[in-house]
Structure 1
Amino acid sequence: VIRFSEEIIRDAIRYEIQRGGQIFFIHNRIENIKEVAGLLQRLVPDAKIGIGHGQMEGRKLEQLMLSFINNEFDVLVSTTIVESGLDVTNANTIFINNANNFGLSDLHQMRGRVGRSNKKAFCYFITPPYHNMTDDARKRIEAISMFTDLGSGINIAMKDLEIRGAGDLLGGEQSGFINDIGFETYQKILNETIEELKENEFKDLYKNSSNKPKEYVKEIQIDTDFEILFPDDYINIISERLNLYNELGELKTEEELLDFETRIIDRFGELPTQVEDLLNSVRVKWLAKHLGIERLILKQKRMVGYFVSNQQSSFYQTATFSKILQFVQQNPSICTMKEKETKNGLRLLLTFIKIDSIKKALETLQKMEV
């Protein structure tokens, strides 16, 4: 990476010509490409220079390229038309003027025009000072100068993905914000958006597409002071515990959970209390989602459930919610329902007392579902 220096350019061209090689000089502005070629001719008077760009007649451009391949002149001053499909083994020096204006893939492609023989190759990225570049341009130049080894294309591609973002699947943008929030979160937001569109703008198209009952709660957050985990002295390998947590998070049915429990006992022995509570917490999560609870707090012998945050949700007209209201009316000694103002707006809360274990929480929610 260099600044525009007549001395460096002159010395590099002379060195390449002295060892019998040829030079690419990339300048992507057709309006003054002849002036650039004139500058190079002034710097190296004995060099033979050709000019090529996309506005030339096809036959003339083809003849120019063939002449360069046949080593009939030393320096080809051209636009980016040479970035692919051209193999000149004798050309082992390339200058890319205003490299900060190109994308990473373009820079990588153009750098690949040299180094196609057993001779050492040189690539000069001519840029303004770093403080005069945009942040993204500076990141691109740093990346292309960092990854120079053979096979480093994948690293450049990943860096390009990081700089530009991965794009919007449901839109016209080719770059996006996925890197800022993570792929899983992006997928979650995407799925929620699709479901929302199905329920609102396109509900007529999807009203007969599925007989599945509607899910009003996609994800539930559980806060608790109970120990719900795989203890270190039960499963002492960290990676094994992480794998089991991931597998547990993917389970959807009681049959899958029972099979998971059987395999755990078979591998590690009888379940300690913490693991029993962990498995029951999954059942609590399933029940709470079915009951329209988005957040569940199990602390200080109390269980507090936060219902669907959208006050206009059709959940509040369902038979499930009617059943919950009936249960609250019939059991005022163990539970209460009230509205509470939170930082996210007005929320409807369901509170139970004397909940001293995960098992008791599960049994209480099961009574409501019956």
Structure 2
Amino acid sequence: MRVDDLLNFYRADRRAHLLNACWENDGSKAELKGIVGSAPALLAASMLSPGGEMADDAILRDAPSHLFVLDDKESAAYFLNDLQQLIGDTHNVLFFPRSARVPYQEEVTENANIAMRAEVLNEINRHGKGLAIVTFGEAIAEQVISKRELSEQTFALALGERYTMDFLDEIFIEYGFSKVDFVYEPGQYAVRGGIVDVFSYSFDHPYRIEFFGDEVDSIRKFDPISQLSVNKMTRAVVVPNIGDQSLHESVEPLFNFIPAETRIWMADAKRTERQLEKAMERAESAFERVSDAVKFTPPAALFIAPERLESLLEPFHVVEFDGGTTFPNRVVIDWDMIPQPSFNKNFDLITSNLQANHRQGYHNVIVAGQATQIERLHDIFADREAEVPHHPIPIELSQGFVDKQLKLLVYTDHQLFERYHRFRLKEGFKKSKQALTLKELSALQPGDYVVHIDHGIGQFGGLQKIDVNGKEQEAIRLSYRGGDVLYVNIHSLHRISKYSSKEGTAPKISKLGTGTWAATKAKTKSRVKELAFDLLKLYAKRKSSKGFSFSPDNYMLHELEASFMFEETPDQRAAIHAVKKDMERTTPMDRLVCGDVGFGKTEVAIRAAFKAAADGKQVAVLVPTTILSMQHHRSFTRRLRDFPVTVDYINR
């Protein structure tokens, strides 16, 4: 079964057709009674893509937008992930967060959130239709820039247009952008000769605009980490900081910004109203604490008054799906669902439940984001020699449910195995490791030692503008022995690293053009080769000796792995797989698992120890301190308490 097959259940469902019929009346209101788990997201996904996999893209783009208002950020994030899993790339699914953790405190305003808010508003302003926007009460409590002002303050450049650098400087400064040496987050721009980099507030990647004279010759989006192009563009759209009140005169509720035909889904409008009250109270409290010397706009002008919510919703199609009964003249649609049962990791109970449901004519669907979880479940059923009819679908949903009317059950693997399921939000530029590198570069002081991979150890001399073929460019100045100077283009940052050694030990500075650095590198390579040769001989000798070959994983190990409450990281999965394969070989294991504190090394050890114990071996876990021995004893005991092994510890 595919995801589209799952959506087809609701595309053809009578209750979904009732909701569609309800939406044919202006300003209609509806209540989805008894719909639970991830079913609202599944229903919404079926309506967002009514034509299924064969749907015409043009039709999808012209369909009304949908706004989903959840109670809080966490529930909104889970709902967002459900939608993304169900409709994939067929729809533009966006998240609309709040701009700041604390009102009136610029230092805790999150640029990533402002960028996401700007992206949503920009998409609404440009298209208006075919969008799925997920948000929550505190986010919509903040009013937004008006459509008119956003249009007026959005600056677009296109290929072939002509601009002077002075004009662009003026525009970007007016928009509140900071001029920097290199951009790594929204709200920054840099000018180097005929190249302008600008990081708009509505996109994940900055633009690189190249000029031929005053004419725009090339526009590309680029990765600030690698400085490599992401894709070519014919147009660059620069959106300012929509959260900066000094840049615009008027604000309005988000409901005034979205098109009138937008369908609004709310968990519970009354609960949202209470969230608006809390947001207003927090804003008023923060406003009272700010200095009188700084003039701030009062909360009443920046936040939606809670009592306005119902009137703002009046013109829209609104459906409540999580217990909401706000609107007296609503259409009530009964869904008759129950949440996924709890099995307490009892796989015999899970097996019998699925078999019984199948006999009653139910479609058993199990969703799992990782193929390994589907394989584990299959192995557990196989170990019990039980035929369990079910349809695995490789997606993640936040909560399972049983739909009695459709005779459809959707179980999630993380609920079956009682694993922790975390939501994921787009972080955009926050993931940029280059930002740290650039900040480190900015933190370097003249005279600090650095290493150039080709020229050796030199001293940092700061950033300097130099003339290259008649064009002014910014470069890093490195000083070497004998007064030699090397200028390195900032696009070659990856070739420079900060020198590190024992504290207080000054290195010998290299001299350019002597070949000394090349000789040093060659000598080092030679020593590395000698070491490698010695290691090869050692490993060849070890390879020829015999060790104990452990059995392949059995059902108990599958259950232990499935009971891990967290989702393994890719590195953790790779380490576990490698360790188990080593154990199953006939040669002695020689492996070191490295990782920082809290990265999951203990879980790797627990699974390896249990694999050995399952083959009748005793396992000793050696740790360096008394406290660690107690901690590991607790960890092993907790993880293995449901399995036939004895865990104890010896201490001094």
Structure with greater proportional helix content: 1
TM-score (norm 1): 0.23
Compute the TM-score of the two structures, normalised by the length of structure 2: 0.15
Higher Cα Rg, which structure: 1
